Amino acid sequence: MMSRFLMIVSLCAMFLGMGCESHKEKKEKNSRYLVTSPLRKDTLVTNQYVAQIQSIRNIEVRAQERGYLEDIFVDEGQSVKKGQLMFKIMPKIYKAELQRAKAEAHFAQIEYENTKQLADSNVVAPNELAMAKAKFEKAKAEQSLAQVHLEFTDIRAPFDGIVDRLHLKLGSLVEEGELLTSLSDNSDMWVYYNVPEAEYLDYQQAVHEDDTTKVELLMANNQVYKHDGYVQTIEGEFNNETGNIAFRASFPNPEGLLRHGETGSVLTQVPFNNSLLIPQKATFEVLSKHYVYVVNEDHKIESREISLAGELPHIYAISDGISEDDTILLEGLRKVREGDEIEYDFEDPQEVLNHLELYAE
């Protein structure tokens, strides 16, 4: 009796499950999907390139003489003016050498003047006068050299800039050529970014010799720098490993916001005339290839590979694979499979793109 009861319960559960499954399948068949078509329109595509930001002048400040670091007149991060005294290396030895050179030059001058008087009186030969003059000239040159060595103990800023890290402390023994700090001229900044070969060729063919191409800088905080930059030059060779070539853009830096060594992204806008546009959400990827679901005349789903010509926020520009006459699935891509027959509602492509905040002409 008990086994008969359990059998009846099992049969009821099975029929109930089949009924639920049938209801679910019916519900899925009755669901409607949203579709649209590609839109042909003139627009601007923004290309983004990883960039390195450098000062127009960034140099290492090094000691030109050996000695003890007697004074430091600047601090890290300080702005300095051209000719401003930054460091002083103990000058006593070089002052003594200058005094000796002056004395030797004075002695040689007296000797030359005496010899000249004798030569004028035909007491000594002209060769002896020439020897005295050469000795005097040599002594003056050694005096000038000693003066230069003494001046090298005062290390001054070669241009207006910002001081980097100080590598030595006060009183340190400084060797000739030792690094003291770095100095950056941040009045303008050079921004380097790498461009693929195909885009380089498009750029060269589109830009005339006297044209200046405007670019923008996206900083690391995801904010666009408020000053525009301009492409100034292109390096002479491609990188054989990456197939890229480096562009250099110049940006003004009046507020001093940008510093040497920063990173960011260069944004360039490329006009796409009569471009075919679709929402990015209407696509899916398989093995790095892009596809859309096209709905045919029988309301059946077909996957189709597409080629991308450019990318905007939330939108792709398409170069091949579909046309503006095609109907593509806009939502529910994960709910359908190849060959499924669906019911759908069509949404105007312009309205679809307006909701995606398209920037277009």
Residues 204 and 299 in one domain: no
- Alpha-carbon gap, residue 193 to 250, rounded angstroms: 11
List, in order, residues 6 or more apart from 161 with CB less than 8 Å away: 55, 57, 79, 80, 183, 184, 185, 186
Please, what are the averages of pLDDT over each run of 10 residues along the chain (361 residues)?
51 50 47 91 85 95 91 94 93 80 86 83 82 87 85 91 94 92 96 92 76 89 94 91 93 94 91 88 92 93 91 87 93 90 92 70 42
- Alpha-carbon gap, residue 254 to 264, rounded angstroms: 18
Residues 296 and 258 in one domain: no
Residue at a domain's end among 242, 272, 302: 272
- Alpha-carbon gap, residue 339 to 321, rounded angstroms: 18
The verdict on residue 1 lying in a domain is: no
* CATH number of the domain where residue 122 is located: 1.10.287.470
The verdict on residue 22 lying in a domain is: no
Dump strand ranges (E) for the chain: 32-36, 39-62, 67-72, 79-80, 85-89, 154-156, 161-163, 173-174, 179-196, 214-219, 229-234, 244-252, 263-279, 283-286, 289-295, 301-312, 315-320, 328-329, 343-346
The verdict on residue 26 lying in a domain is: no
Residues 223 and 147 in one domain: no
Helix (H, G, I), strand (E, B) or coil at 14: helix
Residues 85 and 158 in one domain: yes
**In angstroms, what CA-CA distances link 241 with 196, 238, 244, 245?**
12, 9, 8, 11
Q: How many CB atoms lie within 10 A of CB 96?
A: 12
Residue at a domain's end among 176, 195, 214: 176
Looking at the 3D structure of the chain, how many domains does it have?
3
The verdict on residue 361 lying in a domain is: no
Contact (Cβ atoms closer than 8 angstroms) between residue 361 and residue 42: yes
The verdict on residue 257 lying in a domain is: yes
Buried b (16+ CB within 10 A) or exposed e, 322-358: beeebbbbbeebeebeeebebebeeeebeebbeeeeb
The verdict on residue 18 lying in a domain is: no
Residues 124 and 107 in one domain: yes
List, in order, residues 6 or more apart from 349 with CB less than 8 Å away: 36, 37, 38, 39, 277
Residues 76 and 172 in one domain: yes
Residues 191 and 123 in one domain: no
Place of tokens 């009846």: 8
- Alpha-carbon gap, residue 30 to 243, rounded angstroms: 52
Place of tokens 């000053």: 227
DSSP tag of 360: B
Residues 203 and 170 in one domain: no
Q: Which two tokens stand for residue 98?
A: 């200058």
What pLDDT is stored for residue 360 in this prediction?
Answer: 44
The verdict on residue 317 lying in a domain is: yes
Residue at a domain's end among 239, 272, 305: 272
Residues 247 and 284 in one domain: no
- Alpha-carbon gap, residue 210 to 160, rounded angstroms: 31
Contact (Cβ atoms closer than 8 angstroms) between residue 305 and residue 290: yes
Residues 307 and 254 in one domain: no
- Alpha-carbon gap, residue 167 to 85, rounded angstroms: 17
* CATH number of the domain where residue 242 is located: 2.40.30.170
Q: What is the DSSP string of 146-198?
A: HHHHHHTTEEE-SSSEEE----S-TTPEEPTT-EEEEEEEEEEEEEEEEEEHH
Using alpha carbons, select from 239, 193, 187, 186 the residue that is nearest to residue 213.
193
* CATH number of the domain where residue 333 is located: 2.40.420.20
pTM here is 0.66
Q: How many CB atoms lie within 10 A of CB 11?
A: 10
Q: What is the DSSP string of 256-274?
A: ----TT-EEEEEEEEEEEE
Residues 158 and 210 in one domain: no
List, in sequence order, the alpha helices (H) in 212-356.
Answer: 349-355
Residues 167 and 196 in one domain: no
The verdict on residue 109 lying in a domain is: yes
Helix (H, G, I), strand (E, B) or coil at 314: coil
Question: Which domain does 251 fall in, by range?
Answer: 48-56+185-272
The alpha carbon of 94 is separated from its chain's Cα centroid by a whole number of angstroms, namely 45
